[in-house]
Amino acid sequence: MKLTALSWTILASAPWTSASKQPNFVFILTDDQDYEMKSLDYMPLLQKYLINEGTSYERHYCTVAICCPSRVNLWTGQAAHNTNVTDLHPPYGGYPKFVERGYNENWLPVWLQQLGYNTYYTGKLFNAHTVNNYDDPPVNGFNGSDFLLDPYTYEYFNAYMTRNGAEPVSYKGEYSPDVIANKAYGFLDDASKDPDRPFFIGIAPIAPHSNMRSVPTLKRDTPFYAERHAHLFKEEKIPRTKNFNPKEPSGVGWVKNLPVLSDTLIEYHDEFYRARLRALQSVDEIVEEVVKRLESNGLLHNTYIIYTSDNGYHISQHRLPPGKECPFEEDIHIPLIVRGPGVPAGHTAHVVSSHTDLTPTILNLAGKARPDLDGSAIPLTEKALAKPDSGEHVNVEFWGRAIPEGKYGWIGDDFLPGFGRVGARNNTYKALRLSAADYSFLYTVWCTGDKEFYDMKRDPDQLHNLFDDQSIHLAEDFTIAGRSFSQVHDRIDSLLLVLKLCKGKTCHSPWSVLHPDDAVRSLKDALRPKFDEFYKEQPKVSFSSCQLGYLKDEEGPQHAKVWETVQHPRPGGKQVPFQYEGHWSWWT
Ligand SMILES: *[C@@H]1O[C@H](CO)[C@@H](O)[C@H](O)[C@H]1NC(C)=O
Ligand SMILES: *[C@@H]1O[C@H](CO)[C@@H](O)[C@H](O)[C@H]1NC(C)=O
Ligand SMILES: *[C@@H]1O[C@H](CO)[C@@H](O)[C@H](O)[C@H]1NC(C)=O
């Protein structure tokens, strides 16, 4: 549907005759929870109350595989290259950067309040939201809040929290996810007392993030769990997939240089994995209690419960120590489960979605569509889910370092005074995850010049990079719609070039930037031989250096050629590149 200025105005101002029509939201956001290592299988209450009663989105992705940038992406509905909150700390990220960029006045909770919602949040919000800057300025947009604060956020038994912007309170000795649980139940009861207004409650415990003490000195550990869960999962091990500590090195750049993991490390990683599963049990209990309270307050039928994580996690895959920040499936493919009015029970949805889509989804349900955001609402009803699947792309990006977790933090070449070795520095990349019925792959361009392409139909473990000489036979065999690897590569590189700069509509329909006549809507359309020359001639995605933040001048070509312009050059001969970035609007 093409929206005109007029229809957008009508849509935007659609009045809600009765506030009671607006649904409530309970949003449970875990920290670093994986999909690929099967963590959901170890959460029986989540299975019972959400998976069996709701829809699991099995192709859901984060777009930046690290906490703060991912959370800002999630709560603003905008790509990280547009928020420019790309790191955990200033100058490139963290709470101060979120504030500096104006999002404290312009993000989901504020928009929900404008739509008549009471809004609440407890747990971790962003990194670099600290015991010192918690009220400078206070977080805006919540009627009730109780935030975990740095530098204690990742200490499971030493939380500091600010309630409604007041002086931080210590919870030393109490188990952080349980503290969050009780605060969440309190907010749920507060919200239920105001029957005239719908509510949104964010619940963000740190489980199953690793325990990390940063003052007075850095100490990295496995996640900590509550005593009542200590007896669980004594025998569990990380799934021994093909990419688990592989014999041959895999990946590119610093990943390719990782040594084989020793038995000592593997043992530690398995215990790390078990600790994660135990830490998640506290979250599992939250799921049950939330559903029960909603039910006893008579609110369950009109409440969407959304369950997801900020990013995924790897442990030992590709020989990696515990951590995230990579474009591998372990890090970007994450759980998303939705239970609520009209959402099919026990259903598995195959639509491709990302965190950028969740704020648009919530706003849609709350009564105000926002097509200016970078995501689009995901289908929730049986009817919407039955429509032929349109989207196939996820735009993934990253700037900065990969940081190892756990006590053997040994990767990388980057030293910081006072910290020592902090990780692998050259971890800046642009990636495209394309997933359709006939093809599924990951394409990544790194700041180092490395490129990766994994054909995930044949190589779901991402062990054979088709750009590697050793995989040349696989590249020679590779076809999509009868076209060769290099023909496919030309197309997807152009798609990535559009996506790395996309904004609003161009993020939803990136092919329309290259083909404004809408003749191309998918990779298959673009693969027609008549476009061969056009795609071959496109500027290629590249970097001139590895930076820790989004420095545009270092990020290669910024404009794609447009098919119509190439076909019908303007009189006078000089080609004018189509400027889409930032200038696209629904009115053009
Ligand atoms: C919640 O906050 C909004 C915005 O400040 C306000 O309009 C609304 O009245 C508040 N709700 C309650 C119950 O105080
Ligand atoms: C990181 O990338 C830069 C290029 O931007 C290169 O000069 C440097 O050698 C790289 N470091 C490592 C360890 O690969
Ligand atoms: C992103 O923020 C950094 C730090 O403030 C700044 O140097 C950079 O120019 C910004 N990038 C863009 C594309 O605005």
**What's the CA-to-centroid distance between 318 and ligand 2, angstroms?**
21
CA distance 118 to 299: 15
User: Per-residue pLDDT tens for 309-325?
Assistant: 999 999 999 999 999 99
Write the residue with the smallest CA distance to atom 13 of ligand 1: 118
Q: Which residue segment(s) compose the domain that 496 sits in?
A: 396-587
**What's the CA-to-centroid distance between 356 and ligand 3, angstroms?**
20
Atom in ligand 3 nearest the alpha carbon of residue 91: 4
Write the residue with the smallest CA distance to atom 6 of ligand 2: 448
Q: Are residues 386 and 459 in the same domain?
A: no
Distances (CA, A) of 221 to 90, 232, 414: 25, 19, 20
Say if residues 277 and 39 touch (Cβ distance below 8 Å).
yes
Q: How confident is the model at residue 565 (pLDDT cuts 50, 70, 90)?
A: confident
Distances (CA, A) of 429 to 63, 81, 158, 243, 399: 12, 12, 35, 21, 7
pLDDT at 501: 96
Q: Is 151 helix (H, G, I), strand (E, B) or coil?
A: coil
Q: Is 471 in the pocket of ligand 1 (CB under 6 A)?
A: no
What positions carry a catalytic annotation? 67
Residues 6+ apart with CB under 8 A from 130: 95, 149, 150, 151
Atom in ligand 1 nearest the alpha carbon of residue 119: 1
Which domain-ending residue is among 360, 395, 430?
A: 395
- What SS3 string covers 177-244? HHHHHHHHHHHHHHHHCCCCCCEEEEEECCCCCCCEECCCCCEECCCCCCHHHCCCCCCCCCCCCCCE
pLDDT at 577: 41
How far, in whole angstroms, is CA 84 from its chain's centroid? 15
Q: Is 417 helix (H, G, I), strand (E, B) or coil?
A: coil
Write the residue with the smallest CA distance to atom 9 of ligand 3: 551
Distances (CA, A) of 352 to 337, 348, 394: 13, 12, 8
Q: Are residues 381 and 404 in the same domain?
A: no
Partners of 309 in beta bridges: 30
Residues within 6 Å of ligand 3 by CB:
84, 91-92, 549-552
Q: Are residues 291 and 416 in the same domain?
A: no
Distances (CA, A) of 358 to 64, 77, 337, 376, 486: 14, 7, 12, 8, 34
The model's pTM is 0.93
Looking at residues 556-585, what average pLDDT do you find?
A: 61
Looking at residue 513, its amino acid is: V
Q: Are residues 406 and 290 in the same domain?
A: no
Q: Which of 24, 117, 143 most suits a substitution to test ligand 1, by most atoms within 8 Å of the C-beta? A: 143
Least confident of 23-32, 368-377, 406-415: 406-415
pLDDT above 70: percentage of residues in the chain? 90
pLDDT of 583 higher than 70: no
Q: Are residues 362 and 447 in the same domain?
A: no
Q: Are residues 276 and 150 in the same domain?
A: yes
Q: How confident is the model at residue 240 (pLDDT cuts 50, 70, 90)?
A: very high
C-alpha distance across the termini of the chain, in Å: 14
pLDDT of 582 higher than 80: no
Which domain-ending residue is among 371, 395, 419?
A: 395
The crossing angle, in degrees rounded to 10, of helices 358-366 and 67-76 is 30
**What's the CA-to-centroid distance between 448 and ligand 2, angstroms?**
6
Say if residues 127 and 94 touch (Cβ distance below 8 Å).
yes
User: Per-residue pLDDT tens for 226-238?
Assistant: 999 999 999 999 9
**What's the CA-to-centroid distance between 193 and ligand 1, angstroms?**
13
Q: Are residues 380 and 423 in the same domain?
A: no
Considering its fold, how many domains does the chain have in total? 2
Q: Are residues 292 and 158 in the same domain?
A: yes
Write the residue with the smallest CA distance to atom 11 of ligand 1: 118
Q: Are residues 361 and 418 in the same domain?
A: no
Q: Is 413 in the pocket of ligand 2 (CB under 6 A)?
A: yes
Which domain-ending residue is among 337, 370, 395?
A: 395
**What's the CA-to-centroid distance between 94 and ligand 3, angstroms?**
14
pLDDT at 418: 58
**What CATH number has the domain bearing residue 213?**
3.40.720.10
User: Nearest 10 degrees: CA dihedral of 67, 73, 74, 76?
Assistant: 140
Q: Are residues 322 and 447 in the same domain?
A: no
Q: Are residues 414 and 317 in the same domain?
A: no
Residues 6+ apart with CB under 8 A from 363: 77, 108, 111, 112, 115, 369, 370, 373, 377
Relative to the alpha carbon of 199, which ligand is closest? 1
Q: Are residues 488 and 342 in the same domain?
A: no
pLDDT of 493 higher than 90: yes
Q: Is 426 in the pocket of ligand 2 (CB under 6 A)?
A: yes
User: Per-residue pLDDT tens for 426-478?
Assistant: 999 999 999 999 999 999 999 999 999 999 999 999 999 999 999 999 999 99
Say if residues 333 and 324 touch (Cβ distance below 8 Å).
no
Looking at residue 58, its amino acid is: E
**What's the CA-to-centroid distance between 426 and ligand 2, angstroms?**
6
Q: How confident is the model at residue 567 (pLDDT cuts 50, 70, 90)?
A: confident
Write the residue with the smallest CA distance to atom 13 of ligand 2: 413
Write the residue with the smallest CA distance to atom 9 of ligand 1: 118
If we measure between CA atoms, which residue out of 89, 18, 132, 52 comes closest to residue 337?
52
If we measure between CA atoms, which residue out of 110, 160, 154 comes closest to residue 133?
160
Q: Is 544 in the pocket of ligand 2 (CB under 6 A)?
A: no
Atom in ligand 3 nearest the alpha carbon of residue 84: 1
Q: Is 194 in the pocket of ligand 1 (CB under 6 A)?
A: yes
pLDDT at 322: 95
Say if residues 253 and 447 touch (Cβ distance below 8 Å).
no
User: Per-residue pLDDT tens for 211-231?
Assistant: 999 888 889 999 999 999 999
